[in-house]
Homo-oligomer: A and B are copies of this chain.
Amino acid sequence: MQSPIEHLSRLLARLPGLGPRSARRIVLLLLQERENLMLPLAAALEKAACEVRTCSLCGNLGETDPCSLCASPTRDRTTLCVVEDVAALWALERSRAFKGLYHTLGGTLSALEGRSPADLKIDSLVARARNGGIKEIILALGATVEGQTTAHYIAERLAGLPITISRLAQGVPMGGELDYLDEGTLTAALTSRRSV
């Protein structure tokens, strides 16, 4: 039987980005801030574990199903943004640049990690596209081999439908110094250059 401190340290050390040392530092801080941080954190974990559900329409996480985005009357229902996971969905929401609906795949195709189209929510995406009402599908997948393979596969599956398929622009990121950018990004930025 391990002590409460050890047990807590081991659980914390399993979180992404944390190891045994950082877990111990966190435990010591938490024990100094029991009322202000430790007990509220315990309650917040339990509450979120019980209340957060996955949206059956877009795959987003939230308190309701359908989620607040899918249920919102102000979102543009003719544009669908396809993302790899909820992290990508949240990142796009933070940008406030997209006002349509989402579709979360739950990953990307990967021969290496053995993820085939059946493992991703691609069939339900095609079904949503066929249901009508959608004018544009934005494939907002990462600029990685897996992301681009997945985007190609989806574009093929959606071919023939009266829907515009688009993807995110590739180029120099905001604040990016050319000196620090890789050649692939610079090539893409040059190829897709725009007149001023």
Q: Is there contact, CB below 8 Å, between B18 and A17?
A: yes
Give the interface segment out of A21-29, A115-123, A137-145, A161-169: A21-29
Query: Within the complex, which residue of B7, B24, B41 is in contact with A11, where a contact is CB–CB below 8 Å?
Result: B41
Interface of A is mostly: helix
Instruction: Indicate whether A190 reaches chain B with its CB closer than 8 angstroms.
Output: no
CA of A38 to CA of B90, assembled, Å: 21
A87 to chain B, nearest CB (A): 6
Q: Which residues of B contact A38 (CB under 8 A)?
A: 45, 48-49
Find residues 1-44 in chain A having any chain B CB closer than 8 Å to their own CB.
3-5, 7-8, 11-12, 14-18, 22, 24-31, 34, 37-44
Q: Which residues of B contact A52 (CB under 8 A)?
A: 4-5, 31
Q: Which residues of B contact A42 (CB under 8 A)?
A: 42-43, 45-46, 49
Contact residues on A (Cβ < 8 Å of other chain), bracket: 35 or more
Q: Is there contact, CB below 8 Å, between A48 and B5?
A: yes
Max chain B C-beta neighbours (<10 A), residue from A3, A7, A44: A44
Find residues 110-162 in chain A having any chain B CB closer than 8 Å to their own CB.
none
A21 to chain B, nearest CB (A): 9
CA of A49 to CA of B36, assembled, Å: 11
Stoichiometry (number of copies): 2
Query: Within the complex, which residue of B17, B85, B86 is in contact with A26, where a contact is CB–CB below 8 Å?
Result: B17
Instruction: Indicate whether A61 reaches chain B with its CB closer than 8 angstroms.
Output: yes
CA of A12 to CA of B46, assembled, Å: 14
CA of A18 to CA of B41, assembled, Å: 14
Instruction: Indicate whether A76 reaches chain B with its CB closer than 8 angstroms.
Output: no
CA of A52 to CA of B32, assembled, Å: 11
CA of A85 to CA of B29, assembled, Å: 12
Q: Which residues of B contact A46 (CB under 8 A)?
A: 39, 42
